[in-house]
């Protein structure tokens, strides 16, 4: 089955490259370092190297606690981080600077994967969340490179998709050296797909500390503004219209700040706004909608908001990370589609740190109620912070698995 998969992937390359070029019209980063996607590199080599793959922005940020822990535990190792998207590559630079090597991951072609592994020769590979590439995993197994699936999640929908291709995906899951699942439900689904050594290690997103200077700046911005702020965070295509259509549910004195999930949509979403952060850092008193068109400032936006509505959850897209908002002490309102964050959602609702709405109108109505109820906002904010604090520790648990795979004791040396 892998041979057929590889042949089909090779035949699809002209279309894949055409799409890469097309996406590069809006995001020039897709047209850079294309050779890396085929296993050709000019990056420095290291005698001891750990490779961490994080597909895009969310995974790059989620990996930070584990990457920092690996750097502290293995000071004589260099970290190579790969991603798939141009936005992910830019986020690597923002989050890690020069502390890691950064590259695009190769396409899952046998030759590209072989060149990648021969060039870097990692002692350990760590793949974040749900990236399962049959040829890449198979080549690691054949080369004796241990591979850990970290912070792994597996929704029911994704599990059904993998199960339909079990003759291809089951050997890949079985070849993983270890899997660190976010929850017991994720662990059970991963085992059913063929993963052998699976343990529940928690969610790394709880270990990501909010950026303190950004939190302070966001609070100062809101204080200077002098009116209620409602944040529509990490919205996806089509959601801005759905939510802003219900803006009448929210008081006219409220400023609605919209931060799209993907930067290539900033100009598109600007049609709904009277101002945008890169041009008008302080919106006018008459502005109703303000566009947050900057990258890497989510802590600022959450701190600047009285209430946050989490995007990706009002269309069947699986939701976006609610933990960032809770850690910043901002009450959260979620849409009905949070299946990519199902456990965190259930626990946050149980803790009283979040509200789940059935549709955009209900969400904006709940936001209006919260904006008028300062006491309830304080209670939810405190519940959110306690909730995040109670679930920290995933980074150290997943680090211990990585070190064990390398044959290193958590407090020892190789």
Q: Which residues are catalytic?
A: 59
Query: How far apart (Å, rounded) are the C-alpha atoms in residues 103 and 107?
Result: 12
For residue 35, how far is the Cα from the chain centroid?
25
Nearest by Cα to 311 from 342, 331, 335, 343? 335
Residues 6+ away with beta carbon under 8 Å from 302: 210, 215, 218, 231, 233, 308, 324, 325, 328, 330
Q: DSSP labels for 109-135?
A: -HHHHHHHHHHH--SEEEEETT---HH
- Element holding 235 (H helix, E strand): strand 229-235
Nearest by Cα to 126 from 158, 149, 103, 95? 149
What are the residue ranges of helices labelled H in 230-297?
239-244, 266-269
Give how far Cα 225 sits from Cα of 138, 229, 286, 336, 411, Å.
55, 9, 11, 31, 49
Say which residue the tokens 């849409």 belong to. 335
Contact between 300 and 214 under an 8 Å Cβ cutoff? The reply is yes
Query: How far apart (Å, rounded) are the C-alpha atoms in residues 130 and 193?
Result: 12
Say which residue the tokens 């584990």 belong to. 66
Residues 6+ away with beta carbon under 8 Å from 209: 327
């Amino acid at each position: 089955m892998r041979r057929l998969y590889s042949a089909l992937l090779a035949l699809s390359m002209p279309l894949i490259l055409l799409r890469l070029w097309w996406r590069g019209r809006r995001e020039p980063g897709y047209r850079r370092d294309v050779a890396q996607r085929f296993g050709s590199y000019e990056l420095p080599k290291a005698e001891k190297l750990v490779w961490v793959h994080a597909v895009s922005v969310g995974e790059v940020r989620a990996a930070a606690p584990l990457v920092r822990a690996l750097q502290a535990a293995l000071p004589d190792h260099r970290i190579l981080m790969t991603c798939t998207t141009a936005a992910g590559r830019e986020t690597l630079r923002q989050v890690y600077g020069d502390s890691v090597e950064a590259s695009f991951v190769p396409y899952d072609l046998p030759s590209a994967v072989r060149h990648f592994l021969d060039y870097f020769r990692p002692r350990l590979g760590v793949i974040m969340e749900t990236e399962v590439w049959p040829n890449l995993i198979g080549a690691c197994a054949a080369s004796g490179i241990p591979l850990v699936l970290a912070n792994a999640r597996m929704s029911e929908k994704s599990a059904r998709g993998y199960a339909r291709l079990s003759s291809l995906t089951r050997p890949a899951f079985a070849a993983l050296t270890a899997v660190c699942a976010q929850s017991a439900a994720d662990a059970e689904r991963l085992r059913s797909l063929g993963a052998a050594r699976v343990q529940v290690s928690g969610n790394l997103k709880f270990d990501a500390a909010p950026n303190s200077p950004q939190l302070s700046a966001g609070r100062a911005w809101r204080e200077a503004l002098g009116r209620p702020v409602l944040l529509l965070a990490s919205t996806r295509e089509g959601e801005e219209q759905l939510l802003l259509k219900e803006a009448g549910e929210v008081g006219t004195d409220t400023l609605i700040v919209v931060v799209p999930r993907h930067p290539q949509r900033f100009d598109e979403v600007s049609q709904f706004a009277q101002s945008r952060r890169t041009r008008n850092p302080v919106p006018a008193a008459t502005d109703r909608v303000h566009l947050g068109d900057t990258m890497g400032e989510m802590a600022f936006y959450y701190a600047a908001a009285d209430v946050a509505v989490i995007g990706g959850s009002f269309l069947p897209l699986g939701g976006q990370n609610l933990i960032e908002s809770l850690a910043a002490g901002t009450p959260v309102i979620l849409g009905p589609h949070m299946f990519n964050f199902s456990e965190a959602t259930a626990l946050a609702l149980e803790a009283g740190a979040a509200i789940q709405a059935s549709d955009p109108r209900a969400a904006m109505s709940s936001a209006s109620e919260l904006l008028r109820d300062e006491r309830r906002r304080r209670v939810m904010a405190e519940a959110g912070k306690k909730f995040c604090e109670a679930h920290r520790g995933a980074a150290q648990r997943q680090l211990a698995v990585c070190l064990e795979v390398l044959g290193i004791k958590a407090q020892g040396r190789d």
